[in-house]
Amino acid sequence: MQELQRFQESELEIVNEAVAIAEEVTSNAYKMSSAEWRGQHYDVKTLADLTPDEVVHGPFAQIIRYVGRKTETSLTSSEFDFYKICLQDYTILSALERFPDLGLFPFAVYIVSHELIHVIRFTKFLQAFDASAKEKILEEARVHEKTRAILRPAQIPGMRAVFDFYSAWQGPLEDLKDME
């Protein structure tokens, strides 16, 4: 099996910056205090830190829900949902090659912001993690809309090209509601 392309060290630095910006704009948009934000149980990982089960073909990222438990207790009452945002380096890099107008920094900010919005919506019970296929598509459209709304005022250089790239997710949800 061919080895999948991973982010280089210089690209990882850019992705780390993008994660920091995505966390800032997303927490600000949801008006979450720093204590609330630290209470979110998630992590962002790239291909180097993913298990084979966490690698998918197609999307730029996926969220996997794990059950976490504090190490000092074995009681299930101390369990919590832990969300792992799994960035798919090779898919992101492939898109950057195919669409030269996209820049890694704004693209990564969009992807991570999008996934963080999902995490927030799951933890606030605004969306069920285990939804039907139809509901997942509707949720994707809602989250893309929210992502654009959050990032538009941030004025990140190169973001217009990212918005154009994701333009297929714009528009009325009614078009998607008829999907079966």
Residue 2 maps to a domain: no
List pLDDT tens digits, range 86-113: 999 999 999 999 999 999 999 999 999 9
Structural domain harbouring 30: 9-177
Q: Containing H/E element for 66?
A: strand 61-69
- Determine contact, residues 90/6, Cβ cutoff 8 Å: yes
- The verdict on residue 60 lying in a domain is yes
Residue 78 lies in a domain: yes
**How much is the pTM?**
0.83
* 75 contacts 133 by C-beta, under 8 angstroms: no
- Per residue in 29-84, pLDDT (tens digit) is 988 877 676 767 888 999 999 999 999 988 999 988 887 666 666 665 556 678 89
Number of domains in the chain: 1
Within-domain flag for 72: yes
- Structural domain includes residue 58: yes
Confirm whether 82 is domain-assigned.
yes
